[in-house]
């Protein structure tokens, strides 16, 4: 038993050392910084696209407020003054979103795909994938990843709204239990 535990500990240590060395050789810390940088740069274009898209369906001012609130609830800031100043800056940037045209949408999508490109590059380096497709193919893949993430977000949002509607109908009484059951069934599919 003692020998088996020693062998297991030796394997764990060897695997840990090899993982650390591979991370340093692949410059994983640089790739992590690159992903963070592009995520920060992609946040505003993605927010503008979301506000523009949801602004077509819902009240644009309410959507803009929710996007800003959600984004800044996730960002740790030291002082409330920093948050207020950044919220004003982002709000000013999102004020004219309802007026974006097709060229602006294309440029915002290109900017939004930056984080996916950085993520794809990091995965290729970590897995030692040397083949590099053309720029057009890489951007198409990045756009597909952004589109897939957006679809997942929309499905999640629609399920949350459906679930909220089911709870509201169920709580209202007056024979709403059947409708609430149907809405629950739809949200669980």
In whole angstroms, give the CA distance from residue 186 to residue 189: 5
CA angle 170, 176, 177 (to 5 degrees): 65
pTM for the whole structure: 0.61
Instruction: Identify the residue whose tokens are 């990843």.
Output: 145
Per-residue tokens: 179: 């409708």
Radius of gyration of the chain (CA): 23
Question: What local confidence, expressed as pLDDT, does residue 2 receive?
Answer: 86
- The answer to whether 48 touches 97, Cβ cutoff 8 Å, is yes
Average of per-residue pLDDT across 28-51? 83
Per-residue tokens: 161: 């709204």
Residue 59 has what DSSP assignment?
Answer: -
Task: Give 135-182 pLDDT, tens digit per residue.
Answer: 899 989 998 988 888 888 778 877 777 777 767 766 665 555 666 566
Comparison of pLDDT for 116 and 179, the residue scoring more: 116
Residue 90 CA to chain centroid, in angstroms?
18
3-state secondary structure of 171: helix
């Amino acid at each position: 038993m003692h020998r088996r535990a020693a062998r297991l500990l030796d394997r764990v240590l060897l695997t840990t050392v090899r993982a650390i060395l591979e991370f340093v050789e692949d410059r994983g810390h640089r790739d992590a910084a690159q992903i963070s940088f592009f995520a920060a740069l992609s946040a505003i274009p993605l927010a503008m696209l979301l506000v523009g898209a949801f602004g077509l369906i819902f009240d644009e001012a309410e959507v803009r407020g929710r996007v800003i609130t959600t984004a800044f609830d996730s960002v740790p800031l030291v002082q409330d003054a920093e948050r207020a100043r950044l919220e004003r800056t982002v709000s000013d940037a999102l004020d004219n979103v309802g007026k974006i045209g097709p060229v602006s949408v294309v440029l915002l999508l290109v900017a939004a795909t930056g984080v996916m490109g950085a993520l794809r590059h990091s995965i290729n380096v970590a897995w030692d994938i040397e083949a590099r497709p053309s720029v057009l193919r890489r951007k198409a893949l990045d756009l597909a990843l952004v589109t897939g993430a957006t679809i997942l977000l929309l499905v999640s949002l629609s399920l949350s709204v459906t679930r909220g509607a089911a709870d509201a109908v169920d709580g209202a009484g007056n024979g709403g239990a059947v409708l609430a059951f149907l809405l629950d069934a739809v949200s669980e599919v």
